[in-house]
Amino acid sequence: MNVEELKSFLDEKVLLYNNPDFIDTDPIQIPHLFTQKEDIEIAGFLSATIAWGNRKMIINNAKKMMDLMGNSPYDFVMSHNEDHLESLESFVHRTFNGIDFATFIQSLKNIYTNHGGLESVFARYQGNNSLQQSISEFKKIFFEIAHQQRTQKHISDPLNGSAAKRINMLTRVINVA
């Protein structure tokens, strides 16, 4: 592909994806449901976490996640109790289950309480031209709470060879990319 063909291809993709109509059929619509920064971050993170498989199924399950949190993700994360976490047990998206969901809620509370929030964690470790170190450090912080080993598979680490596509999607939502 020469430079002219590449430009034409990329211009075509900009028209397709950089337009509000695309949002209606993409999981990015989930964080767009919110206006508070923390709600957007949490909705984006949870949606990105389950972003594999059929897009319609991802959107439906991400909406279920928001419903289970009373459509107030940040408030739910910060004020949940054991009964609230038990209400998440029925959630399943492929291999992401209610136990994983509850762990994610507890870890997010730890991040917002002790580390200044998602954006702060990613920004703190951001390199000049790469988010690899930042994503790797995020995973360490995310799993500093007690958790089942199986839950770690839901967050990739680029320093271990992963492309970390879902986390990279998230960094665009929280503006650290």
Q: At what angle do helices 165-173 and 37-49 cross, to 10 degrees?
A: 160
Q: With a cut of 70, say whether residue 165 has pLDDT above it.
A: yes
* Percent of the chain residues topping a pLDDT of 70: 97
Q: With a cut of 60, say whether residue 177 has pLDDT above it.
A: no
Q: With a cut of 80, say whether residue 167 has pLDDT above it.
A: no
* Percent of the chain residues topping a pLDDT of 90: 61
- Contact status, residue 170 vs residue 149, Cβ threshold 8 Å: no
172 vs 145, which has greater pLDDT? Answer: 145
58-78 pLDDT, tens digit each: 999 999 999 999 999 999 999
| pLDDT band at residue 48 using 50, 70 and 90 as cut-offs | very high
Q: Which of 127, 120, 119, 136 is nearest to 172 (CA)?
A: 119
pLDDT of residue 176: 54
Chain-centroid distance of CA 14 in Å reads: 23
Task: Tell which phi-psi region holds residue 68, choosing left (phi > 0), alpha (psi between -120 and 50) or beta.
Answer: alpha
Mean pLDDT of 30-40: 94
80-135 pLDDT, tens digit each: 999 999 999 999 999 999 999 999 999 999 999 999 999 999 888 887 777 888 88
* Range from 21-35, 40-54, 140-154 carrying the lowest mean pLDDT: 21-35
Q: Which of 117, 92, 96 is nearest to 107 (CA)?
A: 117
pLDDT of residue 175: 64
Burial (Cβ within 10 Å: 0-12, 13-18, ≥19) of residue 145: middle
pTM of the model: 0.85
